[in-house]
């Protein structure tokens, strides 16, 4: 079965170093009201209808910027680049917040 990939924005709600809740949305605009609630991360999820999600990679927003590449669960950079459209989406939201 062919793998499909999906990108989701996520707010990770933390308690110390533990993630206690996640809020996922397809667009960053849908999370805009929750941005101050936790850590913002873009997830790249691969999977198929039979096995479900088989691999997840993360791109954490640091100092208002996405990294160039996704990281694996060991926080090591992978060869998978964060698509430019997500950098642009983040830039739009940041610009919108500064206009308040």
What string of pLDDT tens digits covers the 100 residues of the chain? 788 999 999 998 888 888 888 889 999 988 877 777 789 999 999 998 888 888 999 999 999 999 999 999 888 989 999 999 999 999 988 776 654 3
**Which positions ≥6 away from 56 have C-beta within 8 Å?**
43, 44, 45, 46, 73
Count of domains in the chain?
1
- Residue 41's domain comprises 4-98
R_g over Cα of the chain: 14
- Residue 20's pLDDT is 85
- Residue 31's pLDDT is 86
pTM to 2 decimal places: 0.85
> CA–CA separation, 16 vs 64, rounded Å?
21
């Amino acid at each position: 079965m062919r793998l499909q990939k999906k990108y989701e924005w996520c707010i990770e709600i933390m308690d110390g170093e533990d993630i206690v809740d996640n809020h996922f949305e397809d667009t960053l605009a849908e999370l805009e009201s929750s941005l101050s609630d936790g850590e913002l991360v873009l997830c790249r999820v691969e999977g198929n209808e039979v096995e479900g999600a088989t691999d997840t990679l993360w791109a954490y927003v640091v100092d208002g910027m996405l990294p160039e590449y996704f990281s694996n669960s060991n926080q090591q950079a992978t060869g998978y680049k964060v698509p430019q459209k997500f950098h642009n989406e983040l830039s739009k939201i940041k610009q919108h917040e500064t206009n308040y």
